[in-house]
């Protein structure tokens, strides 16, 4: 009888402790939003669906074993010889406050773009980095990541690809998010979101005859103003002959909920025009699973006629252990 009473008392104590934990936000599981990366495929760069025989998501924070990471996002990839190299943002922290959490550029590799191996951090600065837009020019790999906190659009080159990168120079001074570079008609062009208040609603366009500059703002810039639905970069700009496709992340009503695509109809040193290329979003929130809440980056590559492979990211709910912030 005494043992039964002790068990009942112990059970009541456990229930009281659990109740206190839940009420007071002590160490306990919590639901958190998490960015992850996946592979999509389709007949065109704007008709995409999850790639067959590929895990979804392909890379998530749990795959990064060398540091505490709460988000993997902003993926860009290139193929060199028979290997795919995937560069992406890895955010260290709890992803509760972007001013406190820090993003670095990480790397994964794959022989088939299906099975990926995490290779660690390849680029880190004292300030936050994301959106590692990697590209090749004159047999040299370059990267223009987002360095808004660095107060400039910064160019890096691969001292030893893919792991060692060195700073080259500032291309444009100022605070910009998600700069997206491309080459067209023997000139360089670059989109960059430039809202001074962080509203993601102003898109500026810059141009240069040489990658190293000088870069000047286009006379039609800003080409988007006061519209967070289509201003911020949503992935690699595609130049397909005379067709230029600009991907834009939709940040209204919530950040990164879907990606639109625009076709540039006129681009000269003095003129610019574009039109929506597709009535539906290229990718977006699914309402459930790893990308339940949204998607905001697409990097598409043609690997065979009518066969495109794209790396994308998405955000969904997951469960996490840890000490919650006191409210």
Kindly tell me if the per-residue pLDDT of 17 is higher than 60: no
CATH: 3.40.1410.10, 2.115.10.20, 3.30.70.100, 3.40.190.10. Which one for 2-320? 2.115.10.20
| Of residues 214, 220, 102, the one with CA closest to residue 155 | 214
| Low-confidence winner among 4-8, 82-86, 276-280 (lowest mean pLDDT) | 4-8
Distances (CA, A) of 125 to 52, 78, 160, 271: 37, 23, 18, 37
| Closest by CA position to 143, among listed 132, 153, 152, 151 | 132
Whether the per-residue pLDDT at 301 is higher than 70: the answer is yes
**Which one-letter DSSP state was computed for residue 255?**
T
| pLDDT reported for residue 15 | 60
- pTM (predicted TM-score): 0.89
Over range 310-319, report the average pLDDT: 93
Q: Are 179 and 186 in contact (CB under 8 A)?
A: no
**Which of these, 30, 90, 93, lies nearest to 61 by C-alpha position?**
90
Looking up tokens 């809440």 gives 293
| Average pLDDT for 238-249 | 97
Separation in Å, CA 115 to CA 76, 86, 322:
16, 12, 30
Spatial separation of the C-alpha atoms in residues 267 and 260, rounded to whole Å: 19
Q: How far apart are CA 287 and CA 269, in angstroms?
A: 42
Report the run of H or E that residue 160 belongs to, with start and end.
strand 152-160
């Amino acid at each position: 009888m005494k043992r039964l009473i002790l068990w009942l008392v112990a059970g009541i104590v456990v229930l009281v402790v659990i109740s206190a934990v839940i009420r007071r936000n002590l160490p306990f599981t919590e639901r958190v939003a998490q960015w992850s990366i996946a592979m999509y495929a389709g007949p065109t760069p704007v008709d995409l669906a999850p790639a067959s025989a590929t895990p979804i998501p392909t890379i998530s924070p749990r795959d990064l074993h060398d540091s505490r990471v709460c988000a993997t996002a902003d993926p860009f990839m290139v193929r060199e010889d028979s290997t795919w190299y995937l560069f992406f943002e890895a955010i260290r922290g709890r992803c509760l406050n972007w001013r406190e959490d820090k993003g670095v550029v990480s790397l994964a590799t794959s022989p088939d773009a299906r099975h990926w191996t995490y290779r660690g951090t390849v680029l880190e600065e004292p300030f936050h980095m994301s959106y590692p837009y990697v590209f090749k020019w004159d047999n040299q790999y370059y990267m223009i990541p987002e360095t808004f906190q660095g107060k400039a659009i910064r160019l890096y080159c691969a001292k030893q690809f893919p792991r060692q990168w060195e700073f080259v120079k500032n291309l444009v001074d100022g605070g910009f998010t998600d700069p997206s570079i491309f080459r067209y008609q023997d000139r360089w062009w670059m989109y960059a979101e430039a809202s001074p208040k962080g509203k993601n609603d102003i898109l500026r366009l810059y141009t240069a005859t040489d990658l190293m500059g000088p870069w000047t703002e286009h006379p039609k810039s800003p080409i988007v103003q006061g519209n967070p639905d289509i201003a911020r970069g949503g992935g690699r700009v595609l130049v397909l002959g005379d067709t230029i496709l600009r991907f834009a992340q939709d940040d209204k009503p919530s950040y990164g909920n879907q990606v639109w695509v625009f076709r540039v109809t006129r681009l000269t040193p003095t003129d610019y025009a574009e039109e929506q290329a597709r009535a539906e979003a290229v990718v977006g929130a699914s309402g459930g699973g790893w990308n339940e809440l949204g998607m905001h980056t697409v990097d598409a590559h043609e690997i065979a006629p009518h066969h495109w492979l794209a790396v994308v990211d998405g955000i969904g709910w997951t469960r996490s252990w840890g000490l919650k912030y006191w409210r």
